[in-house]
Structure 1
Amino acid sequence: MATADFPTVYTALRGLLAPYADQLVVKHDDEGHYYLDTRHTRPNGEPLFFAATQVKRTYVSFYLMPVYVFPELLDTLSADLRKRMQGKSCFNFKQLESNLLEELAGLVGRGYTRYQEAGYI
């Protein structure tokens, strides 16, 4: 897929995070970079990261910290979405498939709920 399609991928991934912006802190909202923190402060004084998406040179990254904090959120992850994982909380996309976008949206929602239950939101 050509790099020219990355803005479309980014817009779709950003759309998964935008509904949560009112309850979180938007740290970056630039062309190609959207980043959300919680208002919860970690012991080091820094805010607890929630999620972000960013256009890179060869893919669009989607970071979701709740899956790092609560790895059991990944227990029901499909093999197709798992193939997109890079590290413990990052998913890389060159193109989007509607089923993966839907699954990722559910994962974001479950992650948000877990953060709420833990008192992070």
Structure 2
Amino acid sequence: MTTPAREKAQSLKTVFDNLYKILSRHSPPFKIKTGLVRNKRDLHLIAPKPVAIPGAYGGKPMDKAVTAIIEQKGYIGFYCSPGYFTEGLGADAPPEMMKFLKGKSCFHVTRLDAKLEKEIEGALKAGTKLFKKQGWL
């Protein structure tokens, strides 16, 4: 008999795997990096070249992620960095995503359905558009 904790862990694995597939479709133009978080499954979509952000890191060019997912205990962290370059996602975040918002641009995803997948895909397209506007793609 499977315990509830085991079922939840299996479902989080499925959520991570499905988010991984969604994010992977955006490479190219972004690069995929994994293994950046010790002892956790992760995926980061990175701009193809390091970018310099005025006022950040002393103007030194750094790798910049448009989004990342990290398997945490009890949820999958979905980090959508365009929220940091605007006033946050706030009211512009799609309604299904808003249910998972835990910060300015951090979402604790515990389940994934077709509607949420579509909204995440839309957020990725908006992030791609922002990165192009900034000249990072």
* TM-score for both structures, normalised by structure 1: 0.85
Larger radius of gyration between Structure 1 and Structure 2: 2
Q: Deviations over 1:5-50 (max 9, x none)?
A: 1111001111221122222222216982111221232223322221
Note the C-alpha offset of 1:120.
1.4
Q: Deviations over 1:65-101 (max 9, x none)?
A: 1122134755432333112012111111111122111
Alignment of 1:1-121 (within 5 A): 2-28=8-34, 32-38=41-47, 39-42=49-52, 43-71=59-87, 74-121=90-137
Of the structure 1 ranges 60-69 and 34-43, higher mean CA displacement relative to structure 2 is found in 34-43
Paired positions, count: 121
* Larger strand proportion of the pair: 1
- In structure 2, list runs of 5 or more residues that go unmatched: 1-6, 53-58
Note the C-alpha offset of 1:56.
0.7
Letter in 2 for 1:8: T
- In structure 1, list runs of 5 or more residues that go unmatched: none
Letter in 2 for 1:83: K
Of the structure 1 ranges 33-42 and 66-75, higher mean CA displacement relative to structure 2 is found in 66-75
SS at 1:7 equivalent: helix
Question: What is the identity percentage for the equivalent residue pairs of Structure 1 and Structure 2?
Answer: 21
Give the direction of change, closer, same or farther, for the CA distance of 1:12–1:99 in structure 2 (3 Å limit): same
Letter in 1 for 2:45: L
Letter in 2 for 1:34: L
